[in-house]
């Protein structure tokens, strides 16, 4: 389809006049022209005649299709489907956040739902040609109305708009929990107007930051945003003609989805074996990891794809290799700290994220952290320091190049060039206006609401978020990973607003949560560039989505917290004292705050070494990424660790073996295979959640077999633990991790013990909601 026909096909779409240039060139940019791209073709590595995908330029040229069908994006149909799925997903996600049964709509699940609904809409509802054939006398006025409702073929861009809008249902969901914490644990009420203004301001402020930086973090080829590649592959495979190579990809997607759909209920079946308690303790510490906070998961392989995910088929090998180094460090540090008795480690469980113990609190006094938890905080702080130093030193030249290209309008990315030719850009002042509106809405909420956060501290929070955001964008864009910066936000607020736990919540919202939300929005903008969704359509879409999700998430949270307060307060959340976590002295963990300086110093040393020795034994020294290593250096200190080795195996098979040895297969099938596995697993897990795991109010007991016999059975009692006494999680769902480990009285005792506490982690979910 050429540009003129593309323009004509969009006349009746909502976004036609808004997005298309007045004069669209008839020539289509050729991404294969190396002179236009400024890329040396000699640098491209070939194996068996196929290109080995090694960087963002390869992805832009050989993985993601540059085809622009010119089909409409924002139509009545895509708007209704997207809004409806947004409302449904927001309701489900928010309701089940407070339940022990984890139900959420994954992006791939929403993508498939939008696809099915869109196809049904296009087939079932009448089209314009039907009216012209059956009602020729009314066709002049009725035809445009029918075409507005059902424009015919459900195209790629409509599908993407519906899905992207629906996945925005999670935007602002975490921010909403600030008000839940405030009501439940601090007995404070924030007016609805103040709450909605606060949430909306945080959401659109992050969007403004992304928009102003889009020429650096979205447009260049080097900014791949790797984790969105499986979804891009799904969209393009579903909407291209089913012939040739795409027919093969469709077949792979269908087979892999169906196979994983039926495999998912089988993968988590457990067989608990008998052992003496002492033996079980050691084995669980070293090899355990099916349950959260159980063990290190060493040499433990899982075949449950819901935990493996296509992420490890998409992330570049350099990122995964650095994460493996971090995991290895995590193994060493956890064992060394625990068996070495650091911070009284042996007086506590090996791995535990809970701070308080209802039986021991009054005996031993104020709460202490386990040694592994202390290390997790240290590693997190080192990752933050490493983020700033590493991006500045190693990726500074790339960022400078992107700024120069944006300033001179010399971007070489083929997808950007096509977008530049076919669609109007969003003026910078639009994003600047959004940023200012978000800032002043937040400032107004701070002044009018009883947030306990001083206005000047609000400005500090905003500035901190603006400083962190570009570094997070760069790391995520280059390598597909990020660093959690919430520890830094909480520590700074603890210093400038001491004794104000509620203020700490708001400070973290306007610094860390704004950055996190901005990363999600930037991911969607990169997907829009890959899929050729007009920039102005995305501006409207993301602004509308932020407003819609703000209202929906708050209304649902308000209803749940108001009507189920007593149940939510029964298993209460984990809290800690800020001065004991970030403070110095005999009762503090004095190594946590300086860890940020240690993390910043190591990339400097690394950079100096790389200047003197660019390669060591043929290995590029610059491929070490310290923030990724530090971020993963605490990966075995909490959560489910049994899947780590499966994720490593998946990454090695996909990004090392198939990418380097079979690049033709990799470029054609890798991402669609991962997307197919995700689709089958997520659909089955959604069904199992309601049919088996209690999402509908009734759960089904774990099936008994020779590996998990009934307690009354004597046949297998010599080697198998009966199902009633074995430590099992039905279908790998660890419901125990959803219920916190301390009681309301313990938290109240800690709350009155000191005035500088803050919520480190809040998990106020209840089984009987």
Per-residue pLDDT tens digits for 366-380: 556 777 888 888 999
Q: How far apart are CA 740 and CA 293, in angstroms?
A: 12
pLDDT averaged over the chain? 76
Please tell me the predicted confidence (pLDDT) of residue 26: 34
Quick one: what percent of the chain has pLDDT higher than 90? 28
Please tell me the predicted confidence (pLDDT) of residue 744: 32
Q: How far apart are CA 80 and CA 93, in angstroms?
A: 20
Q: Read off the DSSP letter of residue 335.
A: H
Q: Is the pLDDT of residue 390 over 50?
A: yes
Q: Which residue, among 316, 256, 308, has the nearest Cα to 672 in the 3D structure? A: 256
Distance of CA 497 to the CA centre of its chain: 30
pLDDT tens across 223-281, in order? 999 989 999 999 998 888 776 677 888 889 999 999 999 988 876 665 555 555 555 55
Residue 221 · residue 56 · CB < 8 Å:
yes
Helix (H), strand (E) at residue 50: strand 50-51
Assign 108 a pLDDT band (cuts: 50, 70, 90): confident
Residues contacting 66, CB < 8 A, separation 6+? 29, 31, 414, 415, 418
State the average pLDDT over residues 386-409: 90
State the average pLDDT over residues 622-640: 87
State the average pLDDT over residues 635-654: 85
Q: Which residue, among 303, 143, 289, has the nearest Cα to 677 in the 3D structure? A: 303
Q: Is the pLDDT of residue 13 over 70?
A: no
Top pLDDT among 18 and 307 is at 307
Please tell me the predicted confidence (pLDDT) of residue 738: 28
Lowest pLDDT segment from 139-143, 431-435, 731-735: 731-735
Residue 376 · residue 638 · CB < 8 Å:
yes
Q: How far apart are CA 586 and CA 571, in angstroms?
A: 31
Q: How far apart are CA 206 and CA 438, in angstroms?
A: 8
Distance of CA 530 to the CA centre of its chain: 19
Residue 458 · residue 211 · CB < 8 Å:
no
Assign 144 a pLDDT band (cuts: 50, 70, 90): confident
Please tell me the predicted confidence (pLDDT) of residue 527: 93
The bridge status of strand 615-616 relative to strand 619-620 is: antiparallel
State the average pLDDT over residues 709-726: 52
Q: How far apart are CA 38 and CA 414, in angstroms?
A: 11
pLDDT tens across 533-583, in order? 999 999 999 889 888 887 888 888 888 777 766 666 654 444 444 544 555
Please tell me the predicted confidence (pLDDT) of residue 746: 30
Q: How far apart are CA 732 and CA 102, in angstroms?
A: 12
Please tell me the predicted confidence (pLDDT) of residue 9: 41
Assign 24 a pLDDT band (cuts: 50, 70, 90): very low
- How many CB atoms sit inside 10 A of residue 236's CB? 20
Q: How far apart are CA 759 and CA 649, in angstroms?
A: 37
Q: Residue 459: helix, strand or coil by DSSP?
A: helix
State the average pLDDT over residues 459-463: 94
594 backbone φψ class: left, alpha, beta (φ>0; ψ -120 to 50): alpha
Q: Read off the DSSP letter of residue 573.
A: P
Q: How far apart are CA 708 and CA 755, in angstroms?
A: 49
Planar angle of CA 135, 147, 79, nearest 5 degrees: 150
Distance of CA 438 to the CA centre of its chain: 23
Please tell me the predicted confidence (pLDDT) of residue 716: 52
Residue 416 · residue 529 · CB < 8 Å:
yes
Q: How far apart are CA 378 and CA 599, in angstroms?
A: 9
Helix (H), strand (E) at residue 47: strand 46-47
Q: What is the pTM of this model?
A: 0.80
Dihedral sign for Cα 517, 518, 523, 529, please. positive
Quick one: what percent of the chain has pLDDT higher than 70? 71
Long-range pairs for 274-278 at CB < 8 Å and ≥24 separation?
A: 274/718, 274/719, 274/720, 274/721
Please tell me the predicted confidence (pLDDT) of residue 216: 92
Planar angle of CA 758, 764, 768, nearest 5 degrees: 165
Helical residues (DSSP H) of 449-587, grouped into ranges? 455-479, 486-496, 501-508, 514-531, 535-563, 565-569, 578-581
Please tell me the predicted confidence (pLDDT) of residue 39: 35
Please tell me the predicted confidence (pLDDT) of residue 426: 93
Three-class secondary structure assignment of 242-258: CCCHHHHHHHHHHHHHH
Helical residues (DSSP H) of 125-189, grouped into ranges? 128-134, 139-149, 156-167, 173-186
Two tokens, residue 368: 């202490």
Residue 155 · residue 15 · CB < 8 Å:
no
Please tell me the predicted confidence (pLDDT) of residue 368: 65
Please tell me the predicted confidence (pLDDT) of residue 432: 94
Please tell me the predicted confidence (pLDDT) of residue 430: 94
Q: How far apart are CA 72 and CA 534, in angstroms?
A: 10
Assign 287 a pLDDT band (cuts: 50, 70, 90): low
Two tokens, residue 37: 């791209």
Two tokens, residue 61: 């040229």
Q: Which residue, among 697, 685, 565, has the nearest Cα to 183 in the 3D structure? A: 565
Q: How far apart are CA 654 and CA 635, in angstroms?
A: 22
């Amino acid at each position: 389809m050429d540009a003129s026909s593309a323009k004509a096909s969009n006349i009746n779409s909502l976004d036609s006049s808004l997005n298309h240039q007045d004069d669209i060139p008839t020539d289509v940019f050729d991404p294969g022209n190396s002179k236009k791209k400024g890329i040396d073709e000699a640098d491209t590595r070939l194996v068996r005649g196929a290109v080995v995908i090694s960087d963002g330029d390869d992805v832009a040229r050989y993985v993601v299709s540059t085809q622009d069908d010119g089909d409409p994006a924002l139509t009545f149909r895509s708007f209704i489907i997207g809004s409806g799925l947004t409302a449904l997903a927001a309701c489900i996600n928010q309701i089940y956040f407070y339940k022990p049964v984890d139900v959420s709509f994954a992006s791939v699940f929403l993508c498939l739902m939008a696809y099915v609904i869109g196809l049904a809409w296009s087939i079932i509802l009448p089209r314009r040609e039907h009216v012209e054939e059956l009602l020729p006398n009314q066709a002049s006025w009725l035809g445009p109305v029918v075409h507005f409702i059902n424009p015919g073929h459900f195209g790629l861009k409509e599908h993407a708009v519906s899905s992207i809008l629906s996945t925005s249902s999670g935007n602002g969901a975490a921010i909403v929990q600030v008000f839940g914490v405030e009501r439940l644990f601090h007995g404070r009420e924030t007016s609805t107007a103040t709450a909605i203004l606060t949430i909306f301001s945080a959401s659109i402020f992050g969007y403004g930051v992304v928009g102003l930086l889009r020429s650096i973090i979205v447009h260049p080829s080097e900014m791949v945003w790797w984790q969105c590649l499986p979804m891009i592959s799904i969209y393009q495979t579903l909407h291209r003609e089913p012939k040739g190579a795409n027919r093969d990809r469709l077949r792979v997607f269908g087979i892999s989805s169906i196979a994983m759909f039926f495999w998912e209920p089988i993968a988590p079946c457990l067989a608990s074996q008998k052992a003496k308690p002492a033996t079980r303790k050691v084995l669980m510490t070293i090899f355990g990891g099916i349950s959260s906070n159980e063990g290190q998961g060493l040499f433990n392989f899982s075949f449950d794809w819901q935990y493996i995910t296509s992420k490890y088929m998409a992330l570049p090998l350099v990122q995964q290799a650095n994460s493996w180094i971090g995991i290895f460090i995590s193994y060493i540090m956890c064992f060394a700290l625990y068996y070495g008795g650091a911070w009284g480690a042996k007086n506590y469980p090996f791995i535990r994220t809970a701070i308080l113990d209802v039986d021991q609190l009054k005996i031993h006094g104020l709460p202490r952290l386990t040694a592994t938890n202390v290390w997790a905080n240290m590693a997190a702080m080192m990752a933050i320091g490493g983020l700033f130093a590493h991006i500045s030193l190693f990726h500074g030249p790339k960022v400078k190049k992107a700024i120069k290209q944006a300033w001179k309008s010399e971007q070489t990315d083929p997808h950007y060039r096509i977008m530049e030719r076919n669609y109007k850009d969003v003026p910078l002042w639009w994003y600047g206006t959004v940023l200012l509106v978000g800032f002043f809405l937040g400032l107004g909420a701070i002044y009018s609401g009883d947030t306990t956060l001083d206005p000047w501290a609000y400005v500090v929070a905003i500035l901190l978020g603006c400083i962190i955001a570009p570094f997070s964008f760069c790391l995520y864009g280059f390598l597909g990973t990020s660093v959690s910066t919430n520890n830094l936000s909480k520590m700074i607020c603890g210093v400038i607003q001491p004794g104000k736990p509620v203020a700490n919540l708001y400070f973290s919202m306007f610094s860390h949560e704004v950055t996190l939300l901005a990363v999600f929005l930037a991911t969607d903008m990169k997907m829009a560039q890959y899929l050729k969704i007009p920039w102005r359509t995305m501006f409207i879409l993301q602004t509308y989505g932020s407003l819609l999700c703000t209202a929906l998430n708050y209304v649902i949270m308000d209803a749940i917290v108001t009507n189920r307060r007593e149940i939510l307060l029964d298993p209460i959340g984990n809290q800690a004292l800020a001065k004991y976590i970030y403070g110095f002295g005999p009762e503090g963990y004095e190594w946590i705050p300086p860890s940020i300086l240690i993390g910043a110093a190591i990339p400097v040393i690394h950079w100096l070494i790389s200047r003197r020795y660019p390669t060591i034994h043929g290995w590029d020294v610059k491929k070490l990424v310290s923030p990724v290593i530090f971020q993963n250096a605490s990966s075995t200190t909490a959560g489910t660790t049994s899947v780590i080795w499966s994720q490593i195996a998946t990454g090695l098979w996909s990004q090392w073996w198939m990418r380097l040895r079979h690049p033709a297969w990799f470029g054609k099938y890798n991402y669609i295979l991962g997307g197919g596995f995700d689709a089958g697993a997520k659909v089955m897990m959604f069904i199992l959640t309601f049919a088996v795991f209690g999402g509908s109010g009734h759960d089904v007991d774990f099936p008994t077999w020779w590996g998990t016999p009934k307690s009354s059975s004597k046949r297998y009692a010599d080697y198998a633990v009966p199902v009633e006494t074995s430590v099992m999680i039905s279908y790998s769902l660890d419901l125990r991790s959803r219920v916190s480990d301390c009681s309301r009285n313990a938290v109240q005792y800690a709350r009155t013990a000191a005035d500088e506490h803050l919520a480190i982690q809040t998990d106020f979910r209840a089984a009987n909601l």
